[in-house]
Amino acid sequence: MSTAVHDHTHGHDDHAHHPTGLKRFLTTTNHKDIGTAYLWFSFAMFLVGGVMALVIRAELFQPGMQVVNPEFFNQMTTLHGLIMVFGAIMPAFVGFANWQIPMMIGAPDMAFPRLNNWSFWLLPPAALLLVASMFVPGGAAASGWTLYPPLTIQMGLGMDLAIFAIHILGMSSILGSINIITTILNMRAPGMTLMKMPMFCWTWLITAYLVVAAMPVLAGAVTMLLTDRHFGTHFFNPAGGGDPVLFQHIFWFFGHPEVYIIAIPAFGVISQVIPAFARKPLFGYTSMVYATASIAILSFIVWAHHMYTTGMPVQAQLFFMYATTLIAVPTGVKVFNWVATMWKGSLTFETPMLFAIGFLFLFTMGGFTGLVLSYTPVDVQLHDTYYVVAHFHYVMVAGALFSAFAGVYFWLPKWTGRMYDETLGKWHFWLSFVFFNVTFFVQHFLGLAGMPRRIPDYALQFADFNMVSTIGAFGFGMTQLLFLYIVVKCIRSGETAPANPWEGADTLEWTHLPSPAPYHSFDTPPVVK
């Protein structure tokens, strides 16, 4: 598939003398190659994490223990979380950033091309560590992706591998983000002022700052775990004067910004897609920028809403509750602006737009259940139930993943020079949309009825909804193979795409570059009026 892309770009650009095959990707410093590598890597990780999710759902198909033993079940919940967050969603959006940001701001490449190559190649070893940890004595980390001590201080070798994997993944995303910040701040074409930048670049600029501020804190937290495990420190060990709750504070100081590290680039993609298919400029651009920045800043002062049940004083609970509900305001501004962009627009419903509207509807629902969970008295009831699982899958899957699908369909013509199959794309959307809701909507009911998460067995009264959820999960999983087929078909035999196949798309990559985008673009910067 990569060679197909290569052949194409080669036809358009005589100066591109680069090796082929794996060596091309090992040595490349080209932002488009690296973007492609990121996207394929994240898709592979998405399948790996997806299979783990299906193991979880298969076990929960019926009450009792049928498919796996409880230890392995716990490893699956842990690795599914870690792989989907750090291996699939984050690299997918870094892939978008690599492909799109230089083209959107009229830069020839990223600011540090060789660093860019290294950022990507840190990922496969980290993924290998995570996958290999399943095969060491004692198995993989089985603590849930939040890695709470004291459990994680006691686990075996798999935990150490997970800690190293997190170190490497963290370093990769920090380096990638430094690159993105520098590119956006220093490499814009003449006339491309910050407030003229496409929204996608703005969201990534803000996200990259979040990454540089939050990821090192996670690295610190897992380093403390590591030294507690092997070097006799007592950060989280009560016997030596430490405190396990301290880990939760440090982890969620990273963990909540992490939620927005995933969500904000997704907002950016949606902010490009909706105006293009509504044939109207983005409504309230300036307010979008400020709303995104406010979400990012607020995300650093709400972390303890993940910890309402740890015995915090009531004043602290109130503070975190109010701060959390406050985030609904800038998020509401964004949703309002997207809807207002569509208002009285000349809407058409190609696949990217379908995914964007699916995102808008389902993400908003996930946002509302988040608002429900932000209220301390309610959260104490729902903490660690399937209601929480339903909530964050509405924002992670229907939010981030749907937005990534929207982005892939939107930019595939520019990346490959070929159109995807519109009929199949629509099938992909509707199957994903239906199966997603079959899987996760019923989990709200399970959680409200008190089914705890991360437990491989459950009481009989939860049986029916769990069966429905598992059927949905397998349907959703199979649907993603259709996505793979659509992308491969597009690369191999899609119809030739014009430079701008979307009537309403007006950013530089559509207006100034042919499809597929040449291997080297904007060697001479365009002039932006």
Is 256 assigned a catalytic role? yes
Distance in Å, CB of 235 to other proteins, minimum: 6
Give the dihedral sign, CA 239/244/246/251.
Answer: positive
Is 489 assigned a catalytic role? no
- Report residue 190 as tokens: 């003449």
Is 145 assigned a catalytic role? yes
Distance CA 65, CA 457 (A): 6
Per CB under 8 A, does 65 bind other proteins?
no
Which CB sits closer to other proteins, 112 or 474? 112
> Which residues, listed in sequence order, are joined to residue 140 by a DSSP beta bridge?
158
Distance in Å, CB of 213 to other proteins, minimum: 5
Q: Catalytic: which of 8, 28, 59, 109? A: 109
DSSP 8-state assignment for residue 240: G
Is 348 assigned a catalytic role? no
Per-residue string for binding with other proteins, 176-205, x by CB under 8 A? --x--xx--xxx------------------
**Identified binder of other proteins from the candidate list 111, 129, 205, 262, rule CB under 8 A:** 111
| Residue 192: C-alpha distances to residues 1, 31, 276, 343 (Å) | 34, 20, 20, 28
Which CB sits closer to other proteins, 174 or 373? 174
| Residue 11: C-alpha distances to residues 14, 30, 35, 262 (Å) | 7, 17, 20, 36
Distance in Å, CB of 224 to other proteins, minimum: 7
Q: Reduced to 3 states, what is the DSSP secondary structure of residue 456? A: coil
Is 196 assigned a catalytic role? no
Per-residue string for binding with other proteins, 256-295, x by CB under 8 A? ----------------------------------------
Is 260 assigned a catalytic role? yes
Distance in Å, CB of 288 to other proteins, minimum: 25
Is 386 assigned a catalytic role? no
Which CB sits closer to other proteins, 240 or 281? 240
| Residue 160: C-alpha distances to residues 45, 219, 252, 449, 529 (Å) | 20, 13, 20, 36, 53
- How would you classify residue 139: left for phi > 0, otherwise alpha for psi between -120 and 50, otherwise beta? left
DSSP code per residue over 400-437: IIHHHHHHHHHHHHHHHSB---HHHHHHHHHHHHHHHH
Is 409 assigned a catalytic role? no
Which CB sits closer to other proteins, 66 or 227? 227
Q: Catalytic: which of 271, 299, 416, 470? A: 271
Distance in Å, CB of 348 to other proteins, minimum: 41
Kindly state the number of chain residues that form the binding site for other proteins, as judged by CB under 8 A.
45
| 450, 385 contact by CB (below 8 A) | yes
- Report residue 30 as tokens: 């080209």
CA 265: distance to chain centroid?
8
- Report residue 497 as tokens: 């795409």
Per CB under 8 A, does 86 bind other proteins?
no
E strand residue ranges, 300-370:
none
Per CB under 8 A, does 153 bind other proteins?
yes
| 483, 428 contact by CB (below 8 A) | yes
Torsion of CA 153, 156, 159, 163, to 10 degrees: 80
Distance CA 312, CA 116 (A): 43
Read off the amino acid at residue 465: F
| Residue 409: C-alpha distances to residues 353, 357, 482, 502 (Å) | 9, 14, 13, 11
Q: Catalytic: which of 256, 391, 418, 444? A: 256
Which CB sits closer to other proteins, 63 or 113? 113
Per CB under 8 A, does 174 bind other proteins?
yes
Per CB under 8 A, does 446 bind other proteins?
no
Stretch that binds other proteins, among 5-13, 57-65, 222-230, 294-302 (CB under 8 A): 222-230
**Identified binder of other proteins from the candidate list 13, 243, 421, 506, rule CB under 8 A:** 243
Per CB under 8 A, does 230 bind other proteins?
yes
Burial class of 460 by CB neighbour count within 10 A (0 to 12, 13 to 18, 19+): exposed
Per CB under 8 A, does 253 bind other proteins?
yes
Distance in Å, CB of 324 to other proteins, minimum: 20
Is 271 assigned a catalytic role? yes
Is 172 assigned a catalytic role? yes
Distance in Å, CB of 381 to other proteins, minimum: 16
Is 334 assigned a catalytic role? yes
| 342, 360 contact by CB (below 8 A) | no
Query: Could you list the residues that contact other proteins (CB under 8 A)?
Result: 111-112, 115, 150, 153-154, 156, 174, 178, 181-182, 185-187, 212-221, 224, 228-232, 235, 237-241, 243, 245-246, 249-250, 253-254, 311, 313
Residues assigned a catalytic role:
80, 109, 145, 172-173, 256, 258, 260, 271, 305-306, 331, 334, 453
